[in-house]
A and B are shown apart, each in its own frame.
Chain A
Amino acid sequence: MAKIIACYKWVTDEADIRINSEGSIDFSKAKGKISDYDKNAIEAAMQAAQSIGASAVALTFGTAKAKLSLKDALTRGPAESFWVCSESAEKADGAATAKVLAEAVKKIGDYRLIICAEGASDTYARQVGPRIAARLDLPCITSVRGFEIQGDVITATRKLDNRTEVVKAGLPALISVLPEVNEAPIPGLKAVLDAGKKRSTEFKLQDIGLTDADVAPRTEVRDFKAYIMNRKNIIISADTNADKVKELVANLRKDGVI
């Protein structure tokens, strides 16, 4: 049966992140979770699979910690999960991740549609989807808020800055979806039991023809800093409204805001 492949990322749960007083970030107590937006991608894969009689599968690239995600992903409906396990995922950027996922997609084979979230909830770099499509030479539709498949054609509605755009592409293709594409349902407890009976396949990099050197990131994350908002406590005290506006504008210019 043809497959709809939903790609997802195991990210740090932002609810567990602690910000220290000097602005550094403490990840020590943070647990992992499937990126919230990827839950929409998985649900989109489920709906697409149902509409065309395909099988939805889930695919991720992650470190050993991402093993915890497999059952979670399967709880959300996919028939099978695939996991490319490598510690290099810890520092992988969008280009490296796309390279791995594209090779994994080739290994899985027999796919009609690949669905990614527009971005991950940790970095939201919006790189992985289009890069996978480029590597596989597939049509790519980004910023998708709705889609339907008829025969070998996918028709998607894209959300742009000030308008929507309807585009068509032949299958196989890749789409990256916005959270509004659907409402990811809360799975039932029974789905957890069912997930335990489904198959999860683990790939090492060499299984998909890659080495650690192939997935070395081209970008480097030097540090994480918390965004801290400090009030300047400037009170504009001019007498007239016109002078107040001038003073406000002067202050904004001074700070480089305008």
Chain B
Amino acid sequence: MWYMNEERQLMLNIAKDFVAKEIKPVAMEIDRNCEFPMKLFKRAGKLGFLGITFPEEYGGIGGDWTTLALILEEIAKSLPVLTVAMGAHSLLSGGLLNMLGTPEQKKKYLLPAAKGDIILACGSTEAVGGSNQIEFSTRAVLSGDEWIINGGKVLISNIVVADVYVVLALTSEKLDPATRAGMSIFLIKAGTPGLEIGKPEHKLGWHGSMTGSISFKNCRIPKENLLGPLGGCLQAMFVSATDEFMSCGPVSLGIAEAAYEMAKKYSQERIQCGQSMFDRFQVTRHKLVKMYTEIETLRALVYSTHAVKDKGNLVLAEGRLLKIKGAEVAEYVAREAIQLFGGVGTVIETGVERFWRDAKVMAIGGASVEALMDNIAFMMKNKMI
């Protein structure tokens, strides 16, 4: 592949080893029990997967985005939910810390986060506005040396297990719709009085991602826990969210590849009337070719976009395209894979249906593909693309 080099290949081999020896044996069990993959998450930290794009001085490896994509793709082939936890931790929360943190904040939070010694969660989405910050109502007010936070967030990944929540809150009366000024970010440690953690939701897919609500009732945090400029964090949030959307490309690619490989193997081994399904039915062959075509199309989009990102571009529109196209391809391929399996494809123990469940959530979790299309349309209208 044009995007491979020796260093990336060695790092990918490490991910392959990790998947084969440690993830694959427990992946089905984690999905079935809806448990956060704590042991794997900690191991991912020790192996350096949680700080790939962080600077070396803060525990990362100063790697590029293409390397991150290769590793996410590989992990997603076995356990997509681990990449979801990694995305919330390293890209959304860690990304904001990396962009906005003071050296002291980075040393205190980013360094242990890169090693997996602490877990981060990002609190943005709210019940009323969804991901539309104009409608957010969580508010922070400065009182002496403390910020007092009131409000609530919903559908937040890594709740319960997180040690630190990176939370968006209004610090003005309302968000300026033109300049987007008025929103700030705060670092809130788990266990802080006034921070209440809800119960993880039972979801269609992403079992074990610990997604749920958090609320703040006169939650007091030190003044220095403000992350970044007062009232001026949304640009950074837009960038870190883009990085997270972009990561949905390789994750979706991994999901699609896993489902496709299972269906291809089954079609070649399942005998009907003396022939494999692959040899006997044109419809089987054509389905597999279409699935393969979509996968290779997505692969081209994923790695060309990451190559552009590696050159220092923000890829605000292209990053969103990866989530849109990735979710579409992963859901299509996983659905067709189940269809090729027939009845046994719907049996949980077969292990293919979970990829469809995870693929379906890809189109919604973090931001719906429709919201992202509106983002891109806005960029079109304003001649940004």
Contact = CB atoms under 8 A, between A and B. Distances in A.
Nearest to A189: B48
A190 B49 CA distance: 10
B61 A193 contact: yes
Interface residues of B, number: 19
Contacts of B56: 193
Contacts of A188: 14, 46-48
Interface in B105-120: none
Contacts of B62: 193
Contacts of B22: 186
Interface residues of A, number: 14
A200 to B, nearest CB: 12
Contact of B49 (A68, A189, A192): A189
B292 interface: no
B266 interface: no
Most chain B CB within a 10 A radius of its CB, from A72, A75, A190: A190
Given A189-B14, A189-B47, 17 more contacts: A68-B6, A71-B7, A72-B13, A186-B21, A188-B14, A188-B46, A188-B47, A188-B48, A189-B11, A189-B52, A190-B48, A190-B61, A193-B56, A193-B61, A193-B62, A195-B10, A196-B7
A190 B61 CA distance: 6
Contacts of A187: 14
B63 interface: yes
A189 B51 CA distance: 10
Interface in A181-214: 186-190, 192-193, 195-196
A196 B6 CA distance: 10
Interface string A225-237: 0000000000000
A196 B8 CA distance: 12
A75 B10 contact: yes
8 contacts: A68-B6, A188-B14, A188-B46, A189-B14, A189-B52, A189-B63, A192-B7, A193-B56
A71 B61 contact: no
Contacts of B10: 71-72, 75, 192, 195
Interface in A154-194: 186-190, 192-193
Contacts of B13: 33, 72
Interface string B10-38: 11011001100110000000000000000
Contacts of A186: 14, 17-18, 21-22, 47
A190 B7 CA distance: 11
Contacts of B46: 188
A55 B339 CA distance: 57
A195 B14 CA distance: 14
Interface in B53-95: 56, 61-63
Interface in A54-83: 68, 71-72, 75
Contacts of B18: 186
Contacts of B6: 68, 71
Nearest to B62: A193
B47 A192 contact: no
B313 to A, nearest CB: 24
A189 B18 CA distance: 11
Nearest to B6: A71
B71 to A, nearest CB: 8
A72 B8 CA distance: 11
A196 B7 CA distance: 9
